[in-house]
Structure 1
Amino acid sequence: MELRVFAREQHGISRRNISNGALRVLYRLNEAGYEAFLVGGAVRDLLLGGHPKDFDVATNATPEQVRGLFRNCRLIGRRFRLAHVVFGQEIVEVATFRGIGEEGNADRHVVDGRIVRDNVYGSIEEDAIRRDFRVNALYYNIADFSVRDYVGGMEDLDRRVLHLIGDPEQRYREDPVRMLRAVRLAAKLGFTIDETAEQPFATLGELLCEAAPARLFDESLKLFLAGHGLASFRELDRCGLLRFVYPATAHALRRDADGSFRALVEHGLANTDDRVRSGKSVTPAFLFALLLWGGVRDRAERAIAGGAEVLHAWADAGDAVIAEQAQRVAVPRRFSLVMEEIWALQPRFEQRMKKRVMRFLSHPRFRAAYDFLVLRAEADPALAELAQWWADAQSADPETLGDMITQPVAAAPATPGAKPAAKRRRRRRRRKSSGGSDSGGPDSGEPT
């Protein structure tokens, strides 16, 4: 380690770009006699000219000492003890400098190379080498407004490259999710992953299969719903990690001879990135419906080819793919239910009979399913006429819609080779005999 200190005039960080909450924490810690540094992604992004949303602070004060300074503070975490200082909607995370420690220490526990508990405190130098990437180990000192670099992070920022701190294989074994972080940072910053940092992906990528599915869900949101989803997807696929996190997606891409599925995913992720940058809402349900569509489509097509009824085939395919994916990424039920409906409703777009059209237009998931159809049509021109018909149907008055429905239309099945659902025979009602009662039950009507 060779400390380099960049004075105030040697870097571009301005306190105007640091949140009020973070500044209050830094100043109060400093005034109380503790060391206080802005650290991590916030420093990195400020040096690159960005505008961070989250600000993390590192200090030599213990979590309990931090809590003693702030009434609006709560302590969290068992694996890593942290202090959260709350200012309205803003939460400033304060961490005590991490020490090297040793295995067997009561506050540091390692299992199979993986850190499961780490509350050993140390110096700022130890804290720096405990961080993951060099560009994340830069410290902005509130005492003199300088930036401290212990591991060469400023050089990596200039070269736009990501180096891991320490031995890559050991660091990935400590925490396999670091591989996904490398991909996410490279995609977000437009950096390249250093060869020594990427080389272990081929042999250690399957360690991701053992990571907590709930944690991989959170990491997926950072990968795909933070404005750089398309770049993250391409980087995951390029470096071979996609198959460990989204096996159904990777399998569908291998079978994607004409490139239509890749075009669909990339177009959808590009649209999502545009929405994020425009400040519009995005939903994980639509994202995961997009990523897993290839696997669901393939299963449904096989079932239909085997004689299964179309609607049942799609419903069963959705259930199966979500169950398999849950072993890697735990998609909450509130999202997976929406995903299943989006998939299952796709075949209903080809059913353009009056009664079904009117019911479908009022379905609570119609809009989400229609948006998915439009996305499919943008990747597959054969669906363009179908998507346009439903676009016109939504804005048509009842009389015009009636004319549209009675006009002959070209069939556009939801999947190649899909068989139409068997026509249901309408059950005849029995007439009531005099003095008797109808033994038949009420007509159940069309399924919704």
Structure 2
Amino acid sequence: MIFSRIRQFINGNGPTLKKRVIPRDQHTVSRKEISENALKVLYRLNKAGFEAYLVGGGVRDVLLGEHPKDFDVATSARPEEVAKVFRNCRLIGRRFRLAHVLFGSDVVEVATFRGANDDSPQTEHGMVLRDNVYGTLEQDAERRDFTVNALYYNIADFSVVDFTGGLDDLKKRRLRLIGDPEKRFREDPVRMLRAARFAAKLDFDIEKKTREPIPELAGLLHNVSNARLWDESAKLFLSGYGEACFHQLDQLGLFAALFPATSKALKKAPQWQAMFDAALRNTDQRIAEEKGVNPAFLFAVLLWPVLQHNLQKRLDRGQHPAPAMQAAATDVLDEQNRYIAIARRFALVIREMWSLQHRFESRTPARVDKLSSHPRFRAAFDLLCLRAESETELKPLADWWQQYQDADESARIELIKGATQGTKNSNGPRTRRPRKRTARRAPKPST
């Protein structure tokens, strides 16, 4: 620890920690706002002789007047000791060893206080590979990412402990990284995504020193596993504030690191922004209404401009539309998988949504009936409506399909009749093909 402090002093990047204890009558954290299961974990660890604190987003959000559902616990107990206290516990993780205490479907995450990680294995870029160095409460605060996430609620006396000035930052609605930003981002590039997410979720400003190195370091995300970036993308876009997250990512230069091909397409054709905003806004609204959302839909939207470009190149080379679409979809998904892992079950849904788009144009009775009964019809139709936000020529087609879904049986017949008649008229009058006559066979001579 002494040598770690000396190195920080020499480098000039060590945080200045000053412990501040706020007694119960001077803060707004109440046990009524903490889940029963989180309280059970805190009380039992404390009774077993360990320090136990509520930490992170749970404390932060209660202080902001929110009603969080997830609560994390920090303790002096080692993971194996936590497992001895709770039978309903499982240990997970290699990079960060954690204990999960299970109460049915509810999981309370318990982490042992972290210590200085100067000797932890790192990549050539400075990314920490494992961080299972245990320490004290003060050292744990130093290892947290943002000051507002380094506030501790002590179950022993119900006080709030603040080492990093997180309470002041909460009041100023400011997001500030603990320690030297460049070093901390290199240790774990995902912290840049967390900065964007928390700024969007909390409607906080990112402190200047924290914000400045992000655009330059955004490429470090390519060193993070694509599976982990899938998890982080889900948190960014599927937590109820996806539209705000998108704009934070774009401003910080992080969206281009996650979706490089989409970013290029957006710069060439900014009109796609309307489609993205509408998709993210609709997703946020569904989450607010506690409706289900499928990540495949958002990925299908975000990658649609890239697919269009790839498909058009194939069509220009004379490829048949159907195989060209399948080949283009494979190329786009394979390329995106280099950055964010898309599970096979989601990739199949994305493919289906894309391949159904051209079928909306054909509105004969048989094809309309077949398409409208397809399992992915609703998702594909929603994509068509979003496309109409940017491709205005599709608006009449999207409106027709909406009318068809709202209509009764007789009205549907008239809609189809009008659509097919319109198609005939647009192609000019149909000419009847002459029947091919076959020569009559001469009668067989009688014998």
Take 1:254 and 1:272, find their aligned partners in 2: how far apart are those partners? 24
Q: Provide, for residues 49-94 of structure 1, a one-character-per-residue CA deviation record: whole Å limited to 9, x for no partner.
A: 1121211101111112211111111111222211111111211111
Q: Which amino acid aligns with 1:2?
A: K
Q: Which residue of 2 aligns with 1:297?
A: 308
8 Å CA contact retained: 1:176, 1:211: yes
Q: Which residue of 1 aligns with 2:443?
A: none
Q: Provide, for residues 330-374 of structure 1, a one-character-per-residue CA deviation record: whole Å limited to 9, x for no partner.
A: 010100111111111111111112322222122222121112112
Secondary structure at the counterpart of residue 164 of structure 1: coil
Take 2:389 and 2:323, find their aligned partners in 1: how far apart are those partners? 26
Question: Given the alignment, which residue of 74, 84, 106 partners 2:100?
Answer: 84
- Count of paired positions: 407
Is 1:180 the counterpart of 2:193 in the alignment?
yes
Task: Give 1:360-439 correspondences, 5 Å limit.
Answer: 360-408=371-419
Is 1:242 the counterpart of 2:255 in the alignment?
yes
Is 1:276 the counterpart of 2:287 in the alignment?
yes
Q: Which residue of 2 aligns with 1:139?
A: 152
Structure 1: where are the runs of 5+ without partners? 412-427, 429-448
The more displaced of 189-198 and 301-310 is 301-310
Take 1:318 and 1:312, find their aligned partners in 2: how far apart are those partners? 10
Question: Given the alignment, which residue of 328, 331, 347 partners 2:358?
Answer: 347
Cα deviation for residue 402 of structure 1 reads: 3.5
| Cα distance change, pair 408–367 in 1 and its aligned pair in 2 (3 A) | closer
8 Å CA contact retained: 2:99, 2:111: yes
Q: Which amino acid aligns with 1:119?
A: N
Task: Give 1:2-151 correspondences, 5 Å limit.
Answer: 2-103=18-119, 108-112=120-124, 113-151=126-164
Q: Which amino acid aligns with 1:61?
A: A
Cα deviation for residue 146 of structure 1 reads: 0.9
Take 1:50 and 1:18, find their aligned partners in 2: how far apart are those partners? 11
Question: Given the alignment, which residue of 212, 226, 242 partners 1:199?
Answer: 212
8 Å CA contact retained: 1:45, 1:52: yes
Structure 2: where are the runs of 5+ without partners? 1-16, 424-435, 437-447
Take 1:356 and 1:380, find their aligned partners in 2: how far apart are those partners? 23
Q: Percent identity?
A: 53
Cα deviation for residue 100 of structure 1 reads: 1.0
| Cα distance change, pair 200–387 in 1 and its aligned pair in 2 (3 A) | same
Cα deviation for residue 316 of structure 1 reads: 2.2
Take 1:270 and 1:83, find their aligned partners in 2: how far apart are those partners? 36
8 Å CA contact retained: 1:311, 1:347: no
Take 2:419 and 2:351, find their aligned partners in 1: how far apart are those partners? 30
Take 1:403 and 1:154, find their aligned partners in 2: how far apart are those partners? 65
8 Å CA contact retained: 1:8, 1:146: yes
What is the root-mean-square deviation of aligned Cα atoms in Å? Answer: 1.8
Task: Give 1:210-225 correspondences, 5 Å limit.
Answer: 210-225=223-238
Is 1:252 the counterpart of 2:265 in the alignment?
yes
Cα deviation for residue 309 of structure 1 reads: 2.8
Cα deviation for residue 397 of structure 1 reads: 4.9
Q: Which amino acid aligns with 2:122?
A: V
Could you say which structure has the higher helix fraction?
Answer: 2
Take 1:255 and 1:102, find their aligned partners in 2: how far apart are those partners? 44
Cα deviation for residue 378 of structure 1 reads: 4.1
Secondary structure at the counterpart of residue 165 of structure 1: coil
8 Å CA contact retained: 2:363, 2:419: no
Secondary structure at the counterpart of residue 248 of structure 1: helix
Take 1:193 and 1:397, find their aligned partners in 2: how far apart are those partners? 53
Take 2:247 and 2:118, find their aligned partners in 1: how far apart are those partners? 39
8 Å CA contact retained: 2:404, 2:412: yes
Cα deviation for residue 252 of structure 1 reads: 1.3
Take 2:242 and 2:359, find their aligned partners in 1: how far apart are those partners? 30
Q: Which amino acid aligns with 1:150?
A: F
The more displaced of 314-323 and 18-27 is 314-323
Take 2:325 and 2:286, find their aligned partners in 1: how far apart are those partners? 29
Q: Which residue of 2 aligns with 1:444?
A: none
Q: Which amino acid aligns with 1:372?
A: L
What TM-score does the superposition give when structure 2 sets the normalisation length? 0.87
8 Å CA contact retained: 1:310, 1:347: no
Q: Provide, for residues 11-31 of structure 1, a one-character-per-residue CA deviation record: whole Å limited to 9, x for no partner.
A: 111111100010011111112
Secondary structure at the counterpart of residue 355 of structure 2: helix
8 Å CA contact retained: 2:296, 2:350: yes
Secondary structure at the counterpart of residue 397 of structure 2: helix
| Cα distance change, pair 36–314 in 1 and its aligned pair in 2 (3 A) | same
Cα deviation for residue 300 of structure 1 reads: 1.8
Cα deviation for residue 203 of structure 1 reads: 2.2
